[in-house]
Amino acid sequence: MTESNVRTGFWAVLAVLTFGMALSVAQTVYTPSDVGGSYRVVSVSHGRLHTEDTATGERVSFPDGDLVKAALSGKIKRGDVIRR
């Protein structure tokens, strides 16, 4: 191998590593926006599903019978994120 090939290979490997590191940092920093509204399930009581808005932390209760049935049957568990 010539010195030119070694130098070119070195810069190519360095470019790939830099690009991979940039993607890794971007993935760590990126936080998706909650446009549709997502809620983390907290509990079920009194015929209501009690949740917490993931964007604001505000407590929200849904009197939706289907959601309550799903929570009582175990299809929705505490900590699950639902979107409405």
Q: pLDDT digit string (tens) for 4-62?
A: 888 899 999 999 999 999 999 988 887 666 556 889 999 999 999 999 998 888 999 99
Q: Give whole-number Cα distances, 59 to 26, 53, 66, in Å.
A: 31, 6, 19
Residues pairing with 39 in the sheet:
53, 82
- 42-75 per-residue burial string, b: 16 or more CB within 10 A, e: under 16: eebeeebbbbeeeeeeeeeebeeeebbebbeeee
On whether the pTM is more than 0.85, the answer is: no
Tell me 46's DSSP state.
T
